[in-house]
Amino acid sequence: MIPPAVARLSRVWFPSGGIAASGVEDAHAKLIRAGFLRQSNAGMFHMLPLGNRVQDKVERLVAGRMEELLAASRVSLSSISAESLWEKSGRLDSVASELFRFSDRRDVPYLLAPTHEEEITTLAARSVKSYKELPLRLYQITRKYRDEFRPRHGLLRGREFIMKDLYTFDSSIDAALETYNDVRSAYNQIFSDMKLPVLSAKASSGDMGGDLSHEYHLPTPLGEDRVISCSSCNYVINEEVANTAISDEAATDSPFEIWRGITKDRTKLVNVWYPKWTRPLDGGEAREYTDQDINLSEVKSIVPDLDTAVEDALPFWSAAVAAETRTATEIINVIDGRLPSSLASSLSGPAPTHSSWPSALAPPTTPLHISSSLQNNNNNDKSPPNLLRIRTGDKCNHCSSGHLHVSRAMELGHTFFLGTRYSQPLNAVATIPPATQPTPLQMGCYGIGISRIIGAAAEHLADKTGLNWPAAIAPYSCVVIPGKDADEGDAVQAYREIEGVGGLERRVVDVVLDDRAKSLPWKMRDAELIGFPVIVLLGREWRAARRVEVQCRRLGVKQAVEIADLPAVVARLHASL
């Protein structure tokens, strides 16, 4: 067999170098400086050759597991969806603010799809003729579009992104739940393949619908979610749906505080009353709380139209109660369950009487309805609301010995059991014995953010020197760098030794030769910035003893290796990365 051509960096275009490192440089800045991508518009990016190699590897890995473990068939749906479908599913109004919308020359309204539940369900409705065609598992890897209010952190929160969607159709709830568990196992395998420490957490279904979902989070300080895990049991959950019942602490006699929010229509002021201090019932150290400790997810479960994006509600409320507008309609007081119940009565009535009330915000002449909430409306729970976030060190409510750890995390994937949320309004049905009438199919949808994995993996493993990719998705998992005393034949010899790991038909290590006309120090700096997991250097050791130097920054490896031992050493490192 004729060996494949040598992969050479001189034949790949990537504009690395030429951009100075900033004082405090995050992974996104390193991706730009190393030549992986460039921004095209706000929240939109061009993938350059190195970035495209990473993207291709993530896509191939995910697609392989979809087909191998789930027997899913790949489709490619149109990025353009009709608004009429979204109206039919009842979802258009709830997500309208995040949609890119347009009309064709005949004034037919369309949108750029942020997700494809409506389209795939319509396809199934037109195509599935018999229950014997079930289960049906269809996936795609495609571009999605979301008009983010504030795109940020590069690939982590963009307006155009690559996603993998899997949509499943089953004949019964039991079969659909079995599918759900199969997909969760496949997801665990995917993230294990990438060697990313992803947490699987119970989560809210949000606008997607359904009543069962899990998120897959990578811990990172840039994460927008807070994931709670127990040190003893397997309890892992998103803060949005965590059980925050008040069980082991009470308010002290210290003053209480107020945080103010406003509803999305700017007609209702939301006052959140919470204790400044609490003390554990076992007599432990008292804790102080500020506005940053308010659990907005809990408040939103009581006031669903709360605008959590507004940091300062007072200017909006001042405008709403102004004499020339008078659009304000209500003041809602949400009271933490640790506070005395008498507080609610002091806040009710035509005019507030409590000494902490900002009277200038609600003139007595303004006819406002004032209400108070002493209960948590989430899941019809009638217990007093805990409006304060769980903190690291709090006791776990699910076991007797564990304590909770709270970490910032970035969502990389999400699984939803949808039931008939879309199949019923869009008429995806089949007659399933013993029934004699058509029954809506049981659905699930399962997403993985391809673009987001790239940004999150870069952020998770980057250090002050540069990027540091997992071997499975690195642009190249090993680079051979010849020094000035190593000729072309020496470099190719080392390359071929590494290329042969696993056999030429199954190349385990994706190796490349850096034959660019640059100095050795420049190539080494560039290799560390790009983040090749393994570097093989033909330098001083090659000149002195015909040995190569193998480096792996993440594992702290720098060792001289005989050329005959090179394949085994590189394979061992590769398996750990």
Which pLDDT score is estimated for 514?
A: 96
Which CATH entry fits the domain spanning 9-13+465-576: 3.30.2350.10, 3.40.50.800, 3.30.465.10, 3.60.10.10?
A: 3.40.50.800
DSSP annotation of 552 reads: E
Under 8 Å between Cβ of 370 and 304:
no
H or E stretch covering 335: strand 330-335
* 361 pLDDT tier (thresholds 50, 70, 90): very low
Which pLDDT score is estimated for 506?
A: 58
380 vs 471 pLDDT, higher one: 471
288 by Cβ neighbours in 10 Å (0-12 / 13-18 / 19+) ranks as: exposed
| Residue 417: pLDDT over 70 | yes
∠ CA 308-309-310, nearest 5°, is 95
Which pLDDT score is estimated for 351?
A: 46
417 vs 205 pLDDT, higher one: 417
| Residue 357: pLDDT over 50 | no
**Mean pLDDT, all residues of the chain:** 88
CA distance 85 to 123: 12
For the chain, the structural domain boundaries read 9-13+465-576, 28-77+115-242+405-458, 249-380
Q: Scanning the structure block, which residue is given the tokens 């499975």?
A: 472
Q: What are the residue ranges of helices labelled H in 77-151?
A: 83-89, 92-95, 117-127
Detail the DSSP E strand segments found in 356-449: 369-373, 404-419, 429-431, 438-440, 442-449
The CATH code that applies to domain 28-77+115-242+405-458 is 3.30.930.10
The token pair at 176 is: 């659909």
Under 8 Å between Cβ of 502 and 477:
no
The region of weakest confidence among 42-46, 222-226, 281-285 is: 281-285
| Residue 77: pLDDT over 80 | yes
Residue range 173-186, pLDDT digits in tens: 999 999 999 999 99
CA distance 146 to 134: 32
H or E stretch covering 197: none
* 394 pLDDT tier (thresholds 50, 70, 90): confident
Which pLDDT score is estimated for 392?
A: 87
Under 8 Å between Cβ of 36 and 48:
yes
pTM: 0.85
Among 206-210, 223-227, 244-248, 352-356, the range of highest mean pLDDT = 223-227
DSSP annotation of 194 reads: T
H or E stretch covering 161: strand 160-170
Three-state secondary-structure class, residue 48: coil
CB count within 10 Å of CB 361 equals: 19
Among 234-243, 365-374, 378-387, 558-567, the range of highest mean pLDDT = 558-567
* Averaged pLDDT, 363-370: 56
Which pLDDT score is estimated for 49?
A: 97
Residue range 487-518, pLDDT digits in tens: 899 999 999 999 887 665 556 899 999 999 99
Backbone angles phi, psi at 40, to 5 degrees: -100, -45
Q: Scanning the structure block, which residue is given the tokens 């990313």?
A: 196
Under 8 Å between Cβ of 374 and 341:
yes
* 150 pLDDT tier (thresholds 50, 70, 90): confident
Under 8 Å between Cβ of 472 and 461:
no
| Residue 380: pLDDT over 60 | no
Which pLDDT score is estimated for 149?
A: 81
CA distance 510 to 475: 8
DSSP annotation of 3 reads: P
| Residue 344: pLDDT over 60 | yes
| Residue 304: pLDDT over 70 | yes
* Averaged pLDDT, 546-557: 95
* Residue 248 Cα distances to 251, 272, 289, 383, 396, angstroms: 11, 21, 16, 14, 10
Closest CA to 88 of 43, 67, 119: 119
CA distance 399 to 417: 27
Residue range 89-123, pLDDT digits in tens: 999 988 888 999 999 999 999 999 999 999 999 99
∠ CA 515-552-219, nearest 5°, is 120
The three-state DSSP-derived secondary structure of 293-311 is HECHHHHHHHCCCECCCCC
| Residue 349: pLDDT over 60 | no
DSSP annotation of 565 reads: G
CA distance 111 to 146: 10
Q: What percent of the chain has pLDDT over 90?
A: 57
Among 98-102, 294-298, 331-335, the range of highest mean pLDDT = 98-102
The token pair at 353 is: 């009487």
Q: Scanning the structure block, which residue is given the tokens 């050329």?
A: 563
Residues in the chain: 577
**Per-position b or e across 122-149, b if 16+ CB within 10 A of its CB:** bbbbeebeebeebbbbbbbbbebbbbee
Residue range 53-70, pLDDT digits in tens: 999 999 999 999 999 999
Under 8 Å between Cβ of 551 and 513:
no
Under 8 Å between Cβ of 217 and 357:
no
| Residue 142: pLDDT over 60 | yes
Residue range 532-551, pLDDT digits in tens: 999 999 998 888 898 999 99
H or E stretch covering 112: strand 109-112
CA distance 203 to 259: 26
Which pLDDT score is estimated for 103?
A: 97
| Residue 386: pLDDT over 90 | no
The token pair at 556 is: 């702290």
Three-state secondary-structure class, residue 261: strand
Residue range 433-491, pLDDT digits in tens: 888 899 999 999 999 999 999 999 999 999 999 999 999 999 999 999 999 888 899 99
Under 8 Å between Cβ of 450 and 241:
no
Under 8 Å between Cβ of 483 and 538:
yes
Which pLDDT score is estimated for 360?
A: 42
Which pLDDT score is estimated for 398?
A: 81
* Averaged pLDDT, 152-164: 93
* 352 pLDDT tier (thresholds 50, 70, 90): very low
* Residue 104 Cα distances to 81, 85, 136, 512, 539, angstroms: 12, 16, 33, 47, 62
